[in-house]
Chains A and B, each alone.
Chain A
């Protein structure tokens, strides 16, 4: 599993202001939230995401997560056929309520979740961690919280590396992580987690001292080397996103984004 999805390409989307990218993620959530109809979910927002994926060359990330997308749509459709018991039954299947309405609703929910996943993949494919935290700070998230998020993102690969090394070392000693039932398999991870944990704690003290030596906490709004300028492209993208969000709200408001008369 890749921990960093960022793909350095320097496209128009990559160059957008971090705040616009965070806002774009919000607009994707907003737009997808209001509609249930699979067609309204696919056009225009689904097509737009495919275009952005092509433009930003994010396909390798989508390919890596292809099974997650497939499973997400499938299981969501099945789950809602159990819980969304509306409409005339088409086929009698125990537990499931197979009707046109439950099928359309379930598929719509599946597409919705897949699009939310796609939005996050696109965001991570085009946004560096420092851009993400910069975007959060511009949205008035306190500096220390933004710093903790940024530091966490940075530490994750370090800890994964040490966990993988420990797993390999244990395997070399003949330790089998896949032995036993589900509970036993979880329990077998204890010898991995403890060394990772202790290694992390050893870093904590030094890290806190290093931060304070560099003046961490002296100012609530520290200066930064990275400055992002707002360009006409950012303003155009911002206006477009507002329009997209408004369009999807109108689809909901007029009922065009619904799934039928029972909605």
Chain B
């Protein structure tokens, strides 16, 4: 958490944040490739940018992802759900490098070993799921769109970009950025990592929380599961209250885990 706060004291990180945001928005706005749900979301090459920036610029990319998405939202319609979209994208840009710091063990994110690819996919999936959970949860609770609609599309969308585009961009850009000493570790050497045990616990909580939120969000919003312990008046479409009450704590758990990392 301290990295997200400390980066604002560093002028170069502020600039990298703005550049990450502008790059995200610049690719987001004009390159709408294939509509997945017309008017809701499309297959977006831009989703590769926060992942790439995360491995390069760390906390600056997290804020950049949030701001870039906000700029993109202004051109596709803003809604109260976009406040959560801001934080969801913050997590989307924050998680990959935090997870990589833990499971990468000093390895370069452009490593092509099978284990390196698996670790990369885990980092991207952890980021995509929490982003999707938070947006899906908020839109369902605000009764804008059902969780099952957005929650799954966002994961698919983010993972396609993260697996198909990001590795190529990262492979081309990472060595140059490293050589230019522009990686977040070079720009902000003052940020210290927490003990591995705490970060590992945080990672476990993150996975448990986001996994739980995704499963229960889907089951509840589609009406497949009707929790009997809730009053009957709550268990009716659009299932906003059950999603808020049951998936909400899992999201809190995931964020608690993220803060521990």
Tell me if chain B binds chain A: yes
Q: In whole angstroms, what is the CA distance A189 to B71 when docked? A: 21
Q: Chain B contact residues (Cβ within 8 angstroms of A): what range?
A: 35 or more
A88 lies within 8 A of chain B by Cβ: no
Which of B74-82, B103-111, B129-137, B251-259 touches A?
A: B74-82
Q: Using Cβ atoms and an 8 Å threshold, which residues of chain B touch A262?
A: 236
Please tell me if the beta carbons of B165 and A187 are within 8 angstroms of each other in the complex: yes
In the complex, chain A residues whose CB is within 8 Å of the CB of B70: 149
Interface string of A105-134 (1 = CB under 8 A from B): 100010011001101110010000000000
- Of A84, A151, A189, A212, the residue contacting B18 (CB under 8 A) is A151
Q: Chain A contacts of B237 at CB under 8 A?
A: 83-86
Contact B22 A200 (CB under 8 A): yes
CA distance A246 to B9 in the complex (A): 40
CB distance from B113 to the nearest CB of A (A): 22
In the assembled complex, the Cα of A117 lies from the Cα of B37 at a distance in Å of 17
Residues of B within 8 A of A75 (CB): 37-40
Contacts of B149 in A (CB 8 A): 79, 83
In the complex, whether A145 has a CB less than 8 A from a CB of chain B is: yes
Docked Cα-Cα span, A253 to B169, in Å, equals 52
**Total of A-B residue pairs, C-beta within 8 Å:** 209
Q: Which residues of A contact B238 (CB under 8 A)?
A: 80, 83-84, 105
Q: Cα distance A80–B239 when bound, in Å?
A: 12
Contact call B146/A109, Cβ cutoff below 8 A? no
Does chain B have a CB within 8 A of A179? no
B164 engages A3 (CB within 8 Å): no
A138 to B64 Cα, complex, angstroms: 22
User: How many residues does chain A have at the interface if contact means C-beta atoms less than 8 Å apart?
Assistant: 72
In the assembled complex, the Cα of A112 lies from the Cα of B80 at a distance in Å of: 11
Judge whether A204 is part of the interface by a CB distance below 8 angstroms: yes
The answer to the question of A56 belonging to the interface, with a C-beta cut-off of 8 Å to chain B, is no
A103: min CB distance to chain B, Å: 13
In Å, the complex CA distance between A239 and B95 comes to 43
Chain B residues within an 8 Å CB radius of A5: 75
Chain A 151-166, CB within 8 Å of chain B: the 1/0 string? 1111111111001100
B120 proximal to A (CB < 8 A): no
B168 touches A190 (CB 8 A): yes
Known: A1-B30, A113-B79, A211-B11. Is A187-B18 also a contact (CB below 8 A)?
no
Say whether B182 faces chain A, with CB atoms less than 8 Å apart.
Answer: yes
Residues of chain A contacted by B244 (CB below 8 angstroms): none
The answer, yes or no, to whether A76 is at the interface (CB within 8 Å) is: yes
Tell me whether chain A's interface is mostly helix, strand or loop, or mixed. helix
Interface residue A43 (Cβ < 8 Å from any Cβ of B): no
In angstroms, how far is the closest chain A Cβ from the Cβ of B175?
12
Query: Is A186 located at the chain interface by the 8 A CB criterion?
Result: yes
Which of A72, A144, A149 has a CB less than 8 Å from the CB of B39? A72
A242 contacts the other chain (Cβ, under 8 Å)? no
A197, B23: Cβ atoms closer than 8 Å: yes
Partner of B173, one of A71, A112, A149, A198: A198
Determine, out of B41-49, B194-202, B209-217, the stretch whose residues face the partner at the interface: B41-49
User: B172: which of A72, A112, A194 is its contact (CB, 8 Å)?
Assistant: A194
Compute how far the CA of A76 lies from the CA of B39 in the bound complex, rounded to whole angstroms.
9
Partner of B49, one of A85, A157, A183, A193: A193
Query: Which residues on A sit within 8 Å (CB–CB) of B68?
Result: 152
Residues of A within 8 A of B22 (CB): 151-156, 158-159, 200
> Can you identify 20 A-B contacts, CB atoms within 8 angstroms?
A3-B29, A83-B238, A144-B14, A147-B18, A148-B14, A148-B18, A148-B21, A153-B22, A155-B19, A157-B26, A189-B33, A197-B173, A201-B180, A203-B19, A205-B12, A205-B180, A207-B15, A208-B12, A208-B15, A217-B9
Give me the interface of A with B, judged by CB distance under 8 Å: 1, 3, 5, 25, 29, 33, 36, 68, 71-72, 74-76, 79-80, 83-86, 105, 109, 112-113, 116-117, 119-121, 124, 142, 144-145, 147-149, 151-160, 163-164, 182-183, 185-187, 189-190, 192-194, 196-198, 200-201, 203-205, 207-208, 211-212, 216-217, 262
